Structure 1
Amino acid sequence: MILSRKEIVSLLLLLTAILCVLNASLFANILPLHVSYEQLAQQVVCVGTAYICVIYALSTWMYHSNYSRTRLHMRMVLVTMLLGMMVCNTVATYYFSVGLAFTKLEETMNLYLLFSSFAVASKSVSLGLSVISIFLLFVIMVLIVIKMMQKHGKHSLEEKLQNVESQKE
């Protein structure tokens, strides 16, 4: 059974959502929430990304339009949302990595005494999952843009043929 490009995009969106929820719930929870606003921002962005990814992933099976213009508009909205999610995830990941670095505190004491080994490993895993999520969002965006360009070329050819036929009459 071969999956369509639309279903592949949906499965990639669902995979991204799972990674983001896992990241927000388990690995980006190193400090208490009131201590690190960068960690809170990372968790909020991850949950927001997961929510949007689930909505768009399920829309593949829940919604279909017979109008090509509507489908094109939905693809454009999805590309815009993907760009927004990539920017938000990149900014949150950067501030999460900088915010939990504790560079000034690290000069005076050994941070490994302050954090458990799981917390230290969780930061690395969380940053890795964030990078993987950003990469998946980029791959999804590329797939959708390729589909949009293919459809645009096909529709412009059909419009030219219709114009030629209407001029003949």
Structure 2
Amino acid sequence: MVEDDVVARERALNALDCAAGAMVQRANRVHLYGEMLRAAGLAVEDALYPVINAVAALGPARVADVSATAGIGPTTGSRHLSQLERLGVVRRTADPADARVALVELTPHGRRIAERLRDSRRRIFAELVSDWSDAEVERFSRQLQRFVDRIAERRAR
């Protein structure tokens, strides 16, 4: 790489660092999780949003797998799942392969909540990119998915 290319790459990486950091901070600061939960008809703490999404994505799964997917520790995951169980969003069943192990899955009510969360998320995202062309949305979605896939690959190593 020539020096101009190195400088341009550093500038681009700095911009990525700033944008990714700001995305996470602003998403938390503007309480998008809470907004989506309320739109889905569930008045609970924002921290339950990734847990519901994890159960929805995984289907019947162990608490440890739900917690890992949600990016939280197993103790916190268990506590959040207990709260969601009390609300009728999830239920625990015995693992057919090992009756000592509990699996967590969405209840019919939980599936409706997850669907409303997905609809709410899509409405919010549509609003955020309302002035983008279809090509811009498609290109951004493709690049963002590529970035997320790389994060997942790194975690798997």
TM-score (norm 1): 0.27
Instruction: Please identify which structure carries the higher strand content.
Output: 2
Instruction: Please identify which structure carries the higher helix content.
Output: 1
Higher relative contact order (CA 8 A, sep 6+): 1
Choose 1 or 2 for highest CA Rg.
1
